Structure 1
Amino acid sequence: MSSRRGLVIGVLSLILLGSKVATATGQVESWVREGWKTDFSRTLVDFEEVMSGGPPRDGIPPIDDPIFIPARDVVDLDGREPVILFPLEGESRAYPLRVLTWHEIVNDEIDGQPVAVTYCPLCNAAIVFDRRADGETLSFGTTGKLRHSDLIMYDRSTESWWQQFSGEAIVGDFVGTDLTMLPSRIVSFADFLGAHPDGLVLVPNDPAARPYGNNPYQSYDTAQRPFLFRGELPPDIPAMAHVVVVETDSEPIIVSLNRIRQSPLQLRGYSFSYKTGVASALDTATISDGRDIGSVRVTRDGQDVVHNLTFAFVAHVFHPDVAIIDADAH
């Protein structure tokens, strides 16, 4: 009886494996028909995890020739609106989420350093990368694909696919290569203006091209479940709870925003502080009306470090073995 059961299990495993291979092959064939020149034989991920986000390649168009104006000249940004502050020293720039929501990637250059300023609304992940990899300066676009509800970018040189949340090339010639993340943070436009009145603020190339200031993901960050997500949800914390992720040399640190709101926090040499006054970009129909979720700053030895204010489901799916700190910590 046991040998027969083993045979049945073996046959079923082969059938499932064959089905999985057939599904992956079908996906690759469909992507090739879309015109992708990506080397799909090189991958770090299960293609079943990749799904369409709706728009085609660059259907959410990146900004390649960004336009900026001084903060003191901006008239259409509410003081509570969230902006990505980068760089954190020197000639700082602000990249409003009211613009990034509709473009997701800005290919920019600051003091000779090529950077990609990115925002994935479905993960609320705002991350700045150095665009240089293996001695080559890359330019990025949107694939129209998602993995774990997170934006998959592509570089225009090799059409390799890159996971926005991790900055890692997951498919193609660059597979296994990591982009360098650069320290940035979300602040209110009012705080940016107060600190950098002559600082530059990204404005739309064509203000009439999109309904800038509107949120196409109304009520998303108070939903019960994330959109276009098939992974395991985190235990003991709502999927859409805001958390802060700090990538360290060892295990990442993940702390809920609710915990950081309680009081300043010290963990493994990192300092977490919180400030009110920043509207959620994913709450009400108009971003400026969004509820106050505030902003977080993370430092080590007084220096800002790379961190990411995202959702609990995102932190859990990319770091499934790391506990989310959601109570008093020491």
Structure 2
Amino acid sequence: MRVLALVFSLMATGVWASPEFWRNEWPNTDFDNTSIERWVEIMSGGPPKDGIPALNDPSFIAVAVETDLSAREPVITLEIQGETPRAYPIRFLIWHEIVNDEVGGIPVAVTFCPLCNSGITFDRRTDAGVLTFGVSGKLRNSDMIMFDRETESWWQQAIGEAVVGDLTGTELQTLPSWMESWSEFEARNPDGLVMAEPDFPRNYGANPYVQYDSSNRPFLYSGEMPPHDIPALARVVRVGDAAWPMTRIAEAGEIMENGVVLSWSAGQASALDSRDIGSGRDVGTVRVRDAAGNDLAHDVMFAFAYDAFWPDGAWMLGQ
């Protein structure tokens, strides 16, 4: 609580209202090139640069030999045509937040921001070359700020865009991926691959954010609360600049709207509820496809984060 009080005290005094606060820590970052208008929005999440270690070139094992994952544990699934489907367990991503991988010749970054519940997969190729991402330790609107090791530009994870540094304004392509339970992935992909446990001293399988998604307010966030009386940490499914409340999709089972088909099924545990990730309450799995049945890039994020980054976005409330 003392640390949190200090954080908000520094916010109130405007200490972080200038990039000068960050220059010594980031001497290779061009802070004069930025789309940030209010530097007070940038906050330290606690760990320093690389204090949360991103993973590079992870190892994988066959689905058939995986024994540690429980049935309801969430994984991020990446299925690229012509390649063996891969599952990236949230039990690892909750501690590492970024996995730099390559699938079928495509360099990808599989990312998960626990404070926003945002799990997005990006293509790491840009006009500036292939980038490798790390965790900066900084937050904006409670969302992870990534950095690339090639230019040390800062990237906003929720929107996949560079917001500070040489590459400011560059956008990453988002690839279709989704969160589902381990049992769903295993049943559909018996010959698939699952990421092996990293060689780090972490309590994999444990949730360091116990009951976070039952909180009234997000951590390290001073922005507005969502409209329409939607709880700040309610899950919404964002497709482009539109968002559907998860509760609406779960109640309907399937929604066809805006050229998008959203379907819900029970069986996926919240990674941000109980101490044991696999024992979290059931939040279900949402699949997002177009009218032809093709998977669409999307994100299942908390309502406050959607409202912060898409203040003019469309709330798909069905009214």
Provide TM-score, normalisation by structure 2: 0.91
1:283 to 273, 290, 294: 273
Partner of 1:182: 175
Structure 1 distance, partners of 2:128, 2:314, is 36
Q: In structure 1, give the amino acid aligned to 2:159.
A: S
Pair 1:272-2:265 in alignment: no
Is residue 39–residue 172 contact of structure 1 (8 Å, CA) maintained in 2? Answer: yes
Partner of 1:254: 243
SS at 2:151's partner residue?
Answer: coil
SS at 2:101's partner residue?
Answer: strand
Cα displacement (A) at 1:205 = 2.3
Partner of 1:170: 163
Q: Relative to 1, partners in 2 of residues 1:318 and 1:23: Cα closer, same or farther, differing over 3 Å?
A: closer
How do residues 18-33 of structure 1 correspond to structure 2 at under 5 angstroms?
24-25=17-18, 28-33=19-24
Pair 1:52-2:52 in alignment: no
Partner of 1:79: 71
Deviations 1:66-124 (Å, cap 9, x if unpaired)?
01101111111001000000025441100000000000000000111100000000000
SS at 2:23's partner residue?
Answer: helix
Structure 1 distance, partners of 2:92, 2:309, is 26
Is residue 88–residue 184 contact of structure 1 (8 Å, CA) maintained in 2? Answer: no
Q: Relative to 1, partners in 2 of residues 1:190 and 1:88: Cα closer, same or farther, differing over 3 Å?
A: farther
Cα displacement (A) at 1:29 = 2.8
Q: In structure 1, give the amino acid aligned to 2:84.
A: E
Partner of 1:10: none
How do residues 143-158 of structure 1 correspond to structure 2 at under 5 angstroms?
143-158=136-151
Cα displacement (A) at 1:35 = 3.9
Is residue 57–residue 143 contact of structure 1 (8 Å, CA) maintained in 2? Answer: yes
Aligned CA RMSD, in angstroms, stands at 1.5
Cα displacement (A) at 1:241 = 0.7
Q: In structure 1, give the amino acid aligned to 2:39.
A: F
Is residue 56–residue 143 contact of structure 1 (8 Å, CA) maintained in 2? Answer: yes
Deviates more, 1:85-94 or 1:210-219: 85-94
Pair 1:245-2:238 in alignment: yes
Provide TM-score, normalisation by structure 1: 0.88
Partner of 2:308: 317
Cα displacement (A) at 1:23 = 5.3
Q: In structure 1, give the amino acid aligned to 2:299.
A: N
Partner of 1:114: 107
Q: In structure 2, give the amino acid aligned to 1:131.
A: R
Q: Relative to 1, partners in 2 of residues 1:175 and 1:255: Cα closer, same or farther, differing over 3 Å?
A: same
**Structure 2: runs of 5+ lacking an equivalent:** 1-12
Is residue 16–residue 42 contact of structure 2 (8 Å, CA) maintained in 1? Answer: no
Partner of 1:233: 225
Count, aligned residues: 302
Is residue 273–residue 296 contact of structure 1 (8 Å, CA) maintained in 2? Answer: yes
Structure with max Cα Rg: 1
Structure 2 distance, partners of 1:87, 1:43, is 34
How many percent of aligned residue pairs carry the same amino acid?
51
Is residue 241–residue 312 contact of structure 1 (8 Å, CA) maintained in 2? Answer: yes
Is residue 36–residue 159 contact of structure 1 (8 Å, CA) maintained in 2? Answer: no
Q: Relative to 1, partners in 2 of residues 1:323 and 1:269: Cα closer, same or farther, differing over 3 Å?
A: closer
Q: In structure 1, give the amino acid aligned to 2:235.
A: H
Cα displacement (A) at 1:324 = 2.3
Cα displacement (A) at 1:135 = 4.5
**Structure 1: runs of 5+ lacking an equivalent:** 1-18
Kindly report structure 1 stretches of 4+ aligned residues shifted beyond 6 Å: none
Q: Relative to 1, partners in 2 of residues 1:287 and 1:321: Cα closer, same or farther, differing over 3 Å?
A: same
Structure 2 distance, partners of 1:277, 1:87, is 20
Partner of 2:216: 224
Q: In structure 2, give the amino acid aligned to 1:196.
A: N
Deviations 1:8-52 (Å, cap 9, x if unpaired)?
xxxxxxxxxxx97x8544xx3332222441000011012111000
Structure 2 distance, partners of 1:34, 1:135, is 24
Is residue 235–residue 246 contact of structure 2 (8 Å, CA) maintained in 1? Answer: yes
Structure 1 distance, partners of 2:76, 2:57, is 18
SS at 1:216's partner residue?
Answer: coil
SS at 1:303's partner residue?
Answer: coil
Pair 1:61-2:50 in alignment: no
Q: In structure 2, give the amino acid aligned to 1:158.
A: T
How do residues 37-48 of structure 1 correspond to structure 2 at under 5 angstroms?
37-45=28-36, 46-48=38-40
Cα displacement (A) at 1:65 = 2.6
